[in-house]
Amino acid sequence: MNGNWKKLWKLKVPNKVKIFLWRVLRGCLPVRARLRSKGVQCDTKCPCCGEYEENEWHCFVGCMSAQEVWMETECWPAVEKYSTNAMSFVSMILNMLEELDNKNMTVVAMMMWSLWWRRNQKCWNDNLPTVYATISRTRENLYDWKQAQCRATTVVRTNADPKLLSWRKPPVGSLK
């Protein structure tokens, strides 16, 4: 599979989101159609809408429940454009990675993560979070992660004494 893997790994999102996208692109996400193809006896209908078979395409783009979330985000025009022109779900994501700027691709990645979380809330807790709760959670998660990255960088910079970073020969006669 060809694609801009470097851009995926350089996205400014939590590592769990990068790994999630990698799993999506490798076909490793346990959507119901895939589970059934692996011999798991389960209903293949989408847990969110209950109408269509749940595959990656439906889960993230085709389901009206997912579309309601996307439509309230700033990246909906891009998602709509790429989903309309894509040959497959994987090609859609790879094209987005290739062509979208980092800001929009970050939003897309975080929204996909949140759509998967939302879907899992419905599967395991029989609770489908609202569109606005999903979007709010996405923004809060990204904001919190970025704040943590800033604090981690600041702590390293302020605590790094240059004298402590260089090796010195121990005094003669000392034992470790």
SS3 content of the chain, % helix, strand, coil (to 5): 65, 0, 35
pLDDT in tens, 101-142: 999 999 999 999 999 999 999 999 999 999 999 999 999 999
- Residue by residue, DSSP assigns 110-145 as HHHHHHHHHHHHHHHHS----HHHHHHHHHHHHHHH
Given a cut of 80, whether residue 160 has pLDDT beyond it is: no
Q: Residue count of the chain, please give it.
A: 176
pLDDT digits 0-9 by tens, 32-84: 999 999 999 999 999 999 999 999 999 999 999 999 999 999 999 999 999 99
Domain boundaries, the chain: 15-154
pTM of the model: 0.83
